[in-house]
Structure 1
């Protein structure tokens, strides 16, 4: 019997049908809960992002009763105005200003709503690279997580969120410029695969998709969890996990309305993300026996270069993140598209005063593209006055990787016809007429303080591993030494991935649910026609 094949081409990308709409939204708004409520379920899932929502859905469909706790609130697609100044305070934690303390300080944006950071990410999907999975087995003893083992779960995730490839004609001129330069130089690159249905290229993925095309967890896994009987409690912050005789008994949450939820459960699944999960567990003294909780923080430092052309680019038209270049992927460097509306560009364009004004006056002719570095440095998350404090220093080797990435990107821009290229490295001025000298002269001399960067994809602060002495959870995401307590989010990923981690986290979440249900792997899922 042949394996069915799922279309991942242009027709599947443009097809806006297939989004699931439940008969009833099972939401309890914690802003209106001012009393104490007692709830009994099989599983309590803390968080509704890439880890929490898939495991909640699969457990509910498998027959478990499930409660989901979410610190943020539910947002209707109709609320998304496409204006960054409107949406950042609503959808981002700390209005998008979560910042690391270190050299240099790095902004690390996180979502705070039903859907978590999937609500504001670019929907880019890569499977976990096989070299990374081999490293996990070799260094962390994680057997059972090889590519063949995960294949059925990858396929299930890809079908659920409709992972399809961006068609060139909707990618936008910004992407086509980089494709042109990449092809001219013979470098490796391709159009990205994304989780969408009926994408129209509105260009504001990072501020809530106004067309409802992006398949974030709030319109995929969460509604299907509701249909299977799960309930989402919004504006509810988990404060305690009661463990008696080594077993989870209860989760206690505080609501924004001043009330309390007491949730009796056999399974507590913490999915608050790599920055908040360790803070919660540290406060409760859970998962601390190895001394690794909150440590081993990996982020995905990223920055962007700009190039001026003679023709209109209008980088905000089309899919902001639609093309990638992996010519230097073996060295931990990947180029991915990044763009946004003019008011976002105004915030991120370097310089000030007249220099900034001049760049903004030429914004229509400006292309923008990102450099992402698989980091070698590691940070730490701990609690200061009840809030996560993130200490992270960019490694000197990673600063040099940024220089190399920008050199490659500048070469590509010039091959595509750029007149001028600007990179956000201190001491490197504008480059003109194909001259890469300002970057090449700084080889080996770029220091972390010279790099202007953001970061995404925090990982590793409750890392998984076979040895309880060096890890927080085991290969099945169970916290060592506590029966019924699991962690399912980016914090369990034990190393930098080098690619966007959404698929990895969702796949581990589905695998966890099948493990808790005692169910065999879903081997019936269709194979993708193509995948990154």
Structure 2
């Protein structure tokens, strides 16, 4: 295996030459690097963050967020209200800090991408072999009984009582112990995030990995991509210049368009950085008379998909007490009493697929400036999603529910939950967060309407590719990791044919 080079230890400038340089080691970049290296191609993989594994993960949220998250967890979409979007900044990207949830994009989404946006070769039958390949690599399976705990079982009971369809969540894990700290790094390395799966396999096949290495610019010559310039985090002024026959950008939907923009890559469609979709969400808590002990299971183990046709998706989201305390309602003795009842708290997340769209632009310093405003239609959808989550909790026996709504911090019964489902609330009334940014380099065959073609080639700039969720023409409706990986596998197959 080719060992990783830690940029913090590099003492002199580095010059590389390869078939392909891949920028970013998350769900897209790691897959592209591994698939190409396995085909005998010469690959350089660059990652801005450090390389950490289970031995580094202490389970302490504050320390691990500082270590693993971009901007220490405070990456924001500016709007009313500002919305935090947690992103990984480490080898493995956000796969290192997610809950291991693995859904395929629904068939009807793939059909929409074909019919409405002109994406070719990406309907469900086309992508099925790529989905199957990725799932086999990661050991994807539904959550087993031994790590399926009371938080999930209670919610499942409530959903069944109301006749709402749900299921155990498929996850990428081998030997999960249910320690409940997925969001701050799996200490057993059981979660098959990219840093313990595709990246080591890429290295074993000969790919060269540089960490703590920020790409400043894509190099262009004669209108085509020829490599990248990057800076190491360590010794001041130390740089990497990597020349390559092809460049794949897989920095995620917030960083990818900013890198393209600051590299002066042509934007013939005018769509680059536009069309940002996220999954606006609110965590909904519930207090039970019985103990729940939600930390003794997988945080994200069960979902209710009954309302997917409305763009509403409800799934587990149990959090550490240090993250629970700031959002639990009440002050003084009331808040203290609720925190003292932490063992009796349940928690699920209410997510929506948005019709609203934001944008990403590069600042003068080259960093992404993200703006997003939740529209009225999506605000109504989010209120309904929260109300449905609360209703399920009450049907499961909850005494009170904390919906994450400023104007209604505590719900006391199922009638209040049902009223919330029909409420019209301003966006600023929600204690919102968001996940899974996508769409900022939309794919499609028409260069007047899309940033890349159906396989990720950037329109107007030969030998430059995009390989992450930026490609999605609209929200993929579910957690996107597996869909990103399937498209990245497909991209690598087509890129390899051009080498």
TM-score band (shorter)?
over 0.9
Structure 1 position 241, deviation (Å) = 1.6
Verify: 1:415 aligned to 2:392, yes or no: no
- Map of 1:187-198 to 2, 5 A cutoff? 187-198=164-175
CA distance in 2, matches of 1:441, 1:56: 47
In structure 2, C-alpha distance between the alignment counterparts of 1:262 and 1:289, rounded to whole Å: 27
Describe the shift of the 1:39–1:281 C-alpha distance in structure 2 as closer, same or farther (beyond 3 A): same
Find the counterpart in structure 2 of residue 118 from structure 1. 95
Indicate yes or no: 2:376 matched with 1:396.
yes
Deviation larger for 398-407 or 192-201: 398-407
- Unaligned segments of structure 2, at least 5 residues: none
Tell me if the contact between 1:34 and 1:260 (Cα under 8 Å) persists in the aligned partners: no
Contact 1:162 1:197 in 2 (8 A): yes
Distance 1:509 1:150 in 2: 11
- Cα 1:287–1:130 change in 2 (3 A) is farther
- Per-residue CA deviation, residues 86-135 of structure 1 (Å, 9 max, x unaligned), is 10000001110111110211110100001111000011011111111111
Q: Distance in 2 between matches of 1:123 and 1:106?
A: 23
Residue of structure 2 in register with 1:318 after alignment: 297
CA distance in 2 between counterparts of 1:272 and 1:292 reads 18
> How do residues 84-95 of structure 1 correspond to structure 2 at under 5 angstroms?
84-95=61-72
Find the counterpart in structure 2 of residue 128 from structure 1. Answer: 105
RMSD of equivalent CA atoms: 1.4
**1:382 and 1:390 in contact (8 A); partners too:** yes
1:55–1:512 Cα contact (<8 Å) kept: yes
Give the CA deviation at 1:426: 2.5
Q: Report if the CA contact (8 A) 2:230-2:241 is conserved.
A: yes
- The whole-number CA distance in structure 1 between the counterparts of 2:149 and 2:343 is 13
| Matched length | 495
Give the deviation of 1:284 after TM superposition: 1.3
> In the TM superposition, what whole-angstrom CA distance separates every residue of 1:149-204 from its partner, at most 9, and x where no partner exists?
00110111001111111023412110010011111222100100000000010000
Shift of the 426–245 alpha-carbon distance from structure 1 to 2, 3 Å rule, reads same
CA drift at 1:429: 4.4
Given that 1:464 and 1:471 are in contact with CA atoms closer than 8 Å, whether structure 2 keeps it comes out as yes
Alpha-carbon shift at residue 430 of structure 1 (Å) = 2.2
Alpha-carbon distance in structure 2 between the residues aligned to 1:509 and 1:399: 33
Moved more, 408-417 or 351-360: 351-360
Counterpart-to-counterpart distance in 2, 1:25 and 1:38: 17
Residue 518 of structure 1 corresponds to: 497
Aligned position for 2:453 = 474
Equivalent pair of 1:271/1:487 in contact (CA under 8 Å) = yes
The Cα of 1:351 is off from its aligned counterpart by: 4.1
Map 1:444-455; keep pairs closer than 5 Å. Answer: 444-455=423-434
In structure 2, what is the Cα distance between the partners aligned to 1:61 and 1:121?
26
| 1:440 matched residue in structure 2 | 419
Structure 1 match to 2:197: 220
What is the CA distance between 1:25 and its match in structure 2? 4.8
CA contact (8 A) 2:387 2:417 kept: no
CA contact (8 A) 1:34 1:255 kept: no
Q: Look up the match of 2:254.
A: 275
Report what 1:297 is aligned to: 276
Verify the 8 A CA contact 2:118 2:446 in the aligned structure 1: yes
Which residue of structure 2 aligns with residue 9 of structure 1? none
**Can you list the C-alpha shifts for 1:270-321, whole angstroms capped at 9, x where unaligned?**
0111111111110111142211111110001111111111111111110000
User: Deviations for 1:331-366, whole angstroms, at most 9, x for unmatched residues?
Assistant: 000100001222222233244444422321211111
Could you tell me which residue of structure 1 aligns to residue 443 of structure 2? 464
State the match for 1:525 in structure 2.
Answer: none
Report if the CA contact (8 A) 2:379-2:424 is conserved.
no
Deviation at 1:250, TM superposition (A): 2.2
Any conservation in 2 of the 1:42–1:66 contact (CA below 8 Å)? yes
1:234 maps to 211
Which of 509, 512, 519 does residue 488 from structure 2 map onto?
A: 509
Unmatched 5+ stretches in structure 1: 1-23, 520-532
The answer (yes or no) to whether the contact 1:253–1:261 under 8 Å persists in 2 is: yes
Q: SS where residue 477 of structure 1 aligns?
A: coil
Q: Is the 8 A contact 2:120 2:444 kept in 1?
A: no
SS of structure 1 residue aligned to 2:135: helix
Q: 1:249 aligns with which of 226, 237, 245?
A: 226
Match of residue 372, structure 1, among 335, 342, 351: 351
Is the 1:249–1:266 contact (alpha carbons within 8 Å) kept by the matching residues of 2?
Answer: yes
Partner in structure 2 of residue 17 of structure 1: none
Give SS of 2:368's match: strand
Q: TM-score, normalised by structure 1?
A: 0.91
**Cα shift at 1:438:** 6.2
